[in-house]
Structure 1
Amino acid sequence: MASATVSVESRVRGALWGLFAGDALAMPSHWYYGGKRQVQQDYGRSGITGYVKPVERLPGSIMSKSNTDGAGRGSFNAGRPSIIGDYINHGKKKYWAPNQSYHYHATLKAGENTLEAQLVRVLMRSVVRSGGSFEPSAFREDYVEFMTREGSHNDTYASTCHRMFFANMIHGGLNPEECPDNDRHNVDTIDGLVLPTVSILAAALRGGG
């Protein structure tokens, strides 16, 4: 029985380390649709063979078309506070400016994790404090604190789900538990699998209880 517990713990540890390492390795090629040729064009003939800093510019980046104040595409909201830059992703609004083509993770260093992987750490700490279980209210509180704290992470991009959540909270005046939202397009992405995967791993570690 003890060996089985150790085996599960070892697998969970490996899965989490793999998540963080894979995220950092893949980060420079996020949203690359040109395959091997595009990767080699930006990172050399050998491609990405280790942790590297992303290129600053990425032609075709949709950040310049994305709404800095909510869902999907929209306004840059120049000259006034907005969700991106003022409430979350502090100081990163300039990378979303129209007619610019910044890489989605232009401000990250080699080996640094994206926002989504950083939120995995937030969830892991929340699970530990909650005795090994996922407690929505505890994680929600930690999530809001992390996202709104200046300097909590260094990523440039924040997905639509985050922008909608904080638009509802800041501009809509909703309580945090009422803020999750869905535009039926950008929110329904693979990003949504990241945090539930960690919750599943936590359940596996405590025997599915």
Structure 2
Amino acid sequence: AAAPAEAAPVPLAERIAGALWGLHVGDALAMPAHWYYGGYRQVEQHYGRITGYVKPKELLQGSIMALSNTGGAGRGGYDGDIIGSVIAHGKKPYWARGRSYHYHCTLDKGENTVEADLVRVCYRGIVDDEGRFSADALRQRYVDFMTTPDTHNDCYINTSHRMFFQNRMKGVPLDNCPDNDNHNVDTTDGLTMLIL
């Protein structure tokens, strides 16, 4: 049979649902290959060809998570407890100096990263608020999600989140907690910063 001249219109709700499913599926599929700088050959060496959900390797040579600041922005010390106590509860050992853990080694195959989980927090909040968006409500949901143990299983938390909670621990009002280290946040966390 010949293809129709025009595609049948798809209702907006179905397009949105499809986009969100795609976001979560894509995140889970890509998660094991996150931060592989050697291209597809490096990924194939570790996993073969990824054609479905895969659990990430525990270790990743060249991982810089052990150089990252557990108390705030970018690279830095292991003394801070933002990671492990305030957010990413129990995950600080994966940031230990001298180790080379995969950024998502605590995730199982098919699990989403914390970033995709936060998208879910956002759209569930909009649904719960009957289609209304409130930046204040989102910030509170974000804080509740990130500071409640076992809401996610990811061990890597990017700079923008670490900076936000560092500011929160200093008593900064939530709407002033988003920050910018003029390096990581400028390039990777623009959407997160805009929303929060």
What TM-score do you get using the length of structure 1 for normalisation?
A: 0.85
Separation (CA, whole Å) in 2 of partners of 1:144 and 1:96: 22
Q: Secondary structure of the equivalent of 2:11?
A: helix
1:179 equivalenced with 2:180 (yes/no): no
Number of corresponding residues = 188
Following TM superposition, by how much is the alpha carbon of 1:191 offset from its aligned partner in structure 2, in angstroms?
4.1
Map 1:1-209 onto structure 2 (within 5 A).
7-44=11-48, 47-77=49-79, 82-170=81-169, 172-193=170-191
Separation (CA, whole Å) in 1 of partners of 2:192 and 2:77: 28
Amino acid at match of 1:67: N
Separation (CA, whole Å) in 1 of partners of 2:189 and 2:76: 21
Residues 8, 118 of structure 1: alpha-carbon distance in 2 compared, 3 angstrom cutoff: same
Following TM superposition, by how much is the alpha carbon of 1:180 offset from its aligned partner in structure 2, in angstroms?
0.7
Amino acid at match of 2:92: K
Following TM superposition, by how much is the alpha carbon of 1:125 offset from its aligned partner in structure 2, in angstroms?
1.3
Residues 195, 69 of structure 1: alpha-carbon distance in 2 compared, 3 angstrom cutoff: closer
User: Does the 8 A contact of 1:116 with 1:191 survive in 2?
Assistant: no
1:66-107 deviations in whole A, cap 9, x for unaligned? 000000010001xxx610000000000000011111000000
- Which consecutive residues of structure 2, in runs of 5 or more, have no partner in the other structure? 1-7
Give RMSD over aligned pairs: 1.8
Residues 195, 175 of structure 1: alpha-carbon distance in 2 compared, 3 angstrom cutoff: closer
User: Does the 8 A contact of 1:120 with 1:195 survive in 2?
Assistant: no
Following TM superposition, by how much is the alpha carbon of 1:192 offset from its aligned partner in structure 2, in angstroms?
3.2
Q: Which residue of 2 aligns with 1:204?
A: none
Q: Which residue of 2 aligns with 1:203?
A: none
- Which consecutive residues of structure 1, in runs of 5 or more, have no partner in the other structure? 200-209
Q: Which residue of 2 aligns with 1:206?
A: none
What TM-score do you get using the length of structure 2 for normalisation?
A: 0.90
Q: Secondary structure of the equivalent of 2:78?
A: coil
Separation (CA, whole Å) in 1 of partners of 2:123 and 2:89: 23
Runs of 4+ residues over 2 Å off in structure 1: 189-196
Separation (CA, whole Å) in 1 of partners of 2:148 and 2:91: 14
